[in-house]
Amino acid sequence: MSILGEEKITMELLHREGLARIGRFNTPHGRIDTPNIMPVINPNIRTLPMETMKKMGMQCLITNSYIIRRTPELKEKVLRDGLHSVVGFDGPIMTDSGTFQSYVYGDVEFQNTDTVKFQVDIGSDISTILDIFTTPDHTFEEASNAVYETRRRMDEVSGIAESANIAGPIQGSIYPDLRRESAILMSRSQASYLPIGGVVPLLEQYRYSELVDIILTSKINSDFARPVHLFGGGHPMFMGMAVLLGVDMFDSASYVKYAKDDRLLFPEGTRDLKEIVEIPIWSPLHDRFTATELKSLKDEERKKALAEHNLFAIYMELGEIRERIREQTLWQYVEGKARSHPSLMNAFRRIMDYSHVIEKYTELYRKSPFFYFDSLSSLSPYGRRIEKIRESGGNYVKIHPRYCLPAGLDQKFIRRIYEHSDRNFMFPLGEIMVPAEMDESYPVQQSIVSERIPGSYHGDEFEVDEESARSRYFPLEKIRFLADVQFGRGSGKALFPDGVIIDISRNTGRIRTVRNGEGIIATMRAHDGYLALTMTGGEIIRRLHGGIRNRVRVTEESATFNSVGKSVFFQFIVECDPDIIPYNDVLVVDQGDNLVAVGRALASGREMSEYRKGTAVVINHHVRNN
């Protein structure tokens, strides 16, 4: 069965928070919205009615082609009537190849090419190669051999992959170098779907810190235009953290497996039925059974009831995760949830080791405040970003606590000390030391902090001659500092030379616009405290950096539309600055590097070079009128 070109999988980005994303992609049998889960359906056993699962929000599922193929009656029926008819589901269906069975029971009796061809022939929307399963116990050499053999098998079915969606699993055991290599190899192949394999043993053993290494290494080295799937990762306890690290899709049979053992899934863990006194009000079982009645059901009936509860718990957690991404509060959610189990807390600490990596994909600002809980929050991507900004400015001295106000720096400090000194000053956001010029920029004033100035903090005292001439002007230094942060070193003085006019609000005392003889250069955004460029400012930056920094070059066709205010779409980007961070202002230029518009980037430079569908830049100012 071939598929139409437009049904080849490619991710469309809708909402984001760092590496976490709400997206969508199309399959021959419909759209899948991410993050999402594919419940595992045993083709021989139906635990829950399909309609019950659909009502919970099931959009797609996964079943095992190996089981179907080795069951003669089922094989005959599926070849005759098609996979969707046999399963009884008209939405997207992914099929597994039997790799896990080969790991558990030894070699399977089918070959890779025949296995993939069978899946395509029965109408699978996403077929999986017969990859080599690696476990945490494999040696580096064994895992390496599995990585390259799996890639060879992907190449083996490249002809089929030209007209079908094929999943190419990322293997490599617990070795980050091999996971990196596997992700790169699969991203360069014709695999349109990238599952992370070989992780079930780690999930079962709560080895979440190692999973952080595996997921993040795999994600960062994968093509962002392809969905990343965590095989077997469907427990609500870990799903939020996995999505935070960039996982789009899950599959799981846990809803049935736990039900067989009389265990119930909850967002923070698993509980034994025998310990349950009250069924939670959110459970679909709440209005049908008391805990005592549930325990007294016959085995098969009880298993079905518990499976329904468990699957509902999974979909409820996914709904919460998606809503958190829309609000841009997933980081806070995962940070809070990490404190529910030591293994999760260790994994969250492990994420902090990768903050410098995640920071590259972290938005300039978010809709939500920055939550500062404790010293661990200092190691977040925003903490790392501020540290990087501060380190680029040389030596800093601490402002005395008396000058640090909840609403910003005391004007006495600015007038009496800052403007009479040439020193670099910093003040605390929790335990993050922030350059004075960032006092109104995200995340400083847009934060909720348990303790803004730790009791151990002692700033420095300064002796200055207030009668001496003022050596600098704080608003000018501030906008120059922010311009250097947003658009590269040297941008501040180029945009804002001596003599520019800085308009300050009489009501708030905050900077509003900056002007020169040609008009407004930039405005100060109220919601995040950063600069928004006009076309005049954009042209200054383009000339200063030769059209390289913060540049998005588009096709001539796109430039025509962008020049009148239409958004830039990923598929029309020819080249872009790889250091672009999401939500910062960017320059949109045509093939001749002429500035046609200035807008807000919705993705990082790396993502802009890989996504092929969706909006990349929202235009704020443009060169032509409609």
pLDDT, tens only, 378-398 = 999 999 999 999 998 888 999
Share of the chain above pLDDT 70, in %: 95
Residue 457's pLDDT is: 67
Per-residue pLDDT reduced to its tens digit, 533-559: 999 999 999 999 877 889 999 999 999
Tokens found for residue 274: 């025998």
pLDDT higher than threshold 90 for residue 404: no
Whether omega before 35 lies within 30 degrees of 0, making that bond cis, reads: yes
pLDDT of residue 9: 95
Q: How far apart are the first and last CA of the chain?
A: 46
Is pLDDT of 103 > 70?
no
Which strand (E) or helix (H) includes residue 386? Answer: helix 381-391
Question: What type of residue is 113?
Answer: T
pLDDT band at 455 (very low <50, low <70, confident <90, very high): low
Structure tokens at 26: 């199309």
CATH 3.20.20.105 fits 5-352, yes or no: yes
Mean pLDDT to the nearest integer, 326-342: 95
Counting Cα atoms < 13 Å in the Cβ hemisphere of 343 gives 13
Q: Would you state the pLDDT for residue 548?
A: 80
Residue 3's pLDDT is 41
pLDDT of residue 44: 83
Q: Which residue has the higher pLDDT, 401 or 432?
A: 432
- Range scoring the smallest mean pLDDT among 118-122, 420-424, 498-502: 420-424
Tokens describing residue 268: 């923070």
Domain boundaries, the chain: 5-352, 358-472, 478-622
**What is the pLDDT, as a whole number, of residue 387?**
94
Q: How far is CA 96 from the centre of its chain?
A: 25
The model's pLDDT over 597-611, given as tens digits with 9 standing for 90+, comes to 999 999 999 999 999
280-287 contacts, C-beta under 8 A, 24 or more apart: 282/312, 282/316, 283/309, 283/312, 283/313, 284/308, 284/309, 284/312, 285/309
Distance CA 288, CA 509 (A): 60
Is it the case that residue 1 has pLDDT exceeding 80? Answer: no
Helices (H), ranges, 406-495: 411-416, 474-487, 491-495
Torsion of CA 557, 563, 569, 574, to 10 degrees: 60
Tens-digit pLDDT profile for residues 187-221: 999 999 999 999 999 999 999 999 999 999 999 99
443-462: average pLDDT:
74
Nearest to 265, CA basis, from 249, 250, 248, 282: 282
Provide the β-strand partners of residue 504.
511
Question: Is 261 annotated as catalytic?
Answer: no
Task: Provide mean pLDDT across the span 50-72.
Answer: 94
| Mean pLDDT calculated for residue range 99-110 | 61
| % of the chain exceeding 90 in pLDDT | 82
What pLDDT digit, counting tens, does each position of 270-281 carry?
Answer: 999 999 999 999
Rounded Cα distance between 17 and 57, Å, is 23
Decide whether 5-352 matches 478-622 in CATH topology.
no
Per-chain mean pLDDT for the chain: 92
- Which CATH class, in words, describes the domain spanning 478-622? mainly beta
Q: What is the pLDDT of residue 5?
A: 42
Q: Considering 33, 81, 90, 96, which one is annotated as catalytic?
A: 96
**Do the Cβ atoms of 500 and 514 come closer than 8 Å?**
yes
- Concatenate the DSSP letters of all residues of 512-538 into one string: EEEEETTEEEEEE-TTTS-EEE-HHHH
Mean pLDDT of 168-177: 96
pLDDT band, very low/low/confident/very high, at 2 (cuts 50, 70, 90): very low
* pLDDT tens column, 288-311: 999 999 999 999 999 999 999 999
Two tokens at 560? 């025509």
